[in-house]
Amino acid sequence: MRIVGHRLPANLVSSTSLQRLLPARTRHLCRLGIERVGFDQKMAPEIRDREVLEKMKTAIRKDGPSKLQVIADFDATLTKYWINGCRGQSSHGLLQQGDPKYDNKRQELYDYYHPLEFSPTIPIEEKTKLMEEWWGKTHSLLVEGGLTIDAIKKSVENAFIAFRDGVVELFEFLEEKDVPILIFSAGLADIIEEVMRQKLHKSFKNVKIVSNRMVFDDNGHLQAFKGKTIHVLNKNEHALDMAAPLHDHIGCDGPNGDYSSSVKKRTNVLLLGDHIGDLGMSDGLSYENRITVGFLNDNVEKSIGSYREAFDIVYLNDASMWGVVDLVSELCSHVD
Ligand SMILES: [Mg+2]
């Protein structure tokens, strides 16, 4: 049997018994073929300016993978917005402390601060203070309520959270090309790592998480949080500067173990986000070329105009990651 590219003939696609008889590599291609049938039938992405995009693609291809880095938001960017018709949970939202009293207290904070986060009338300085307050109180409740590593594991096991189709293949491809992926989140690093362990069943040496990190005692009880809080309004490269030294146990690329400075040398950026505010994740970088991909998951009609203006490429309706897989394979291909 001959397999052309990633696609299989339609009559083979549903034949799972046939797949089981195939060698592992071919099975992998089959899986890609099956998932890509769904992708191919989905709506094409919105492109802001084709000419500009093609120019950036060519420039990035010419520089090669050694100059490229990927910066991605986590919730609703790498993960699905909808799962079987229900709203997927976020890395913060899935956490159950094991003590309902504290879960309720955190919910009360959410109910109070979440509308303020989106209020159009609160000036940004004031809003930043409110967000610091919210994150600070939430983190205190997690410490006070005696969060444990076991509770995190259990919360993730019971969570309604899933990666977009194609995320594993995206990570695998970028790992093969030695392209770093920086996952930037105002959530909780320890939970994101647990979600990756449980849902992806493997770790990637090129993936770094910059997010709020917990400190546990020898008995697995939360003691404190490391460093300055990363919240929804300071999620930019300044946060990377202050967070990177705290995260060096994940591994670093820099000659002096300074991950932050090593990624700054990679001057071509592919940025993935689901909020216009995610564009700020590359603010502290002096990049030469940046391609931005936005996932517009909901309220498409209302938001498409602003997303199309903000991002180079916009995927609609909680799309898969296959389009980005195609994009990175193009960006990492040789130019003659
Ligand atoms: Mg998000």
Residues within 5 A (CB) of ion ligand 1: 73, 75-76, 274
Q: Which own/partner contact pairs does 322-327 have at CB distance under 8 Å and 24+ positions apart?
A: 322/35, 322/36, 322/39, 322/165, 322/166, 323/39, 323/45, 323/293, 324/166, 324/170, 324/270, 324/272, 324/293, 325/166, 325/169, 325/170, 325/173, 327/270, 327/291, 327/293
Beta-bridged to residue 272, according to DSSP, are 72, 293
- pLDDT (0 to 100) of residue 79: 97
Q: Which two tokens stand for residue 211?
A: 């997010």
Q: pLDDT at residue 17 above 50?
A: no
Helices then strands, counting H and E runs in the chain, come out as 13, 11
Active site residue 165: no
How far from chain centre, in Å, is Cα 223? 27
Active site residue 241: no
104 Cα: distance to centroid of ligand 1 (angstroms) = 23
- pLDDT (0 to 100) of residue 237: 55
pLDDT in tens, 260-318: 667 778 999 999 999 988 998 888 788 999 999 999 998 899 899 999 999 999 999 99
Catalytic residue, candidates 40, 49, 63, 75: 75
Residues 6+ apart with CB under 8 A from 73: 183, 184, 185, 272, 273, 274, 275, 278, 281
Q: pLDDT at residue 24 above 80?
A: no
pLDDT in tens, 166-180: 999 999 999 999 999
Residue 92 and residue 161 in contact, taking contact as beta carbons nearer than 8 Å: no
Q: pLDDT at residue 195 above 70?
A: yes
36 Cα: distance to centroid of ligand 1 (angstroms) = 24
Catalytic residue, candidates 49, 73, 111, 165: 73
The rounded mean pLDDT for the chain is 82
Q: Which two tokens stand for residue 67?
A: 């100059």
Q: pLDDT-based confidence at 61, cuts 50/70/90?
A: very high
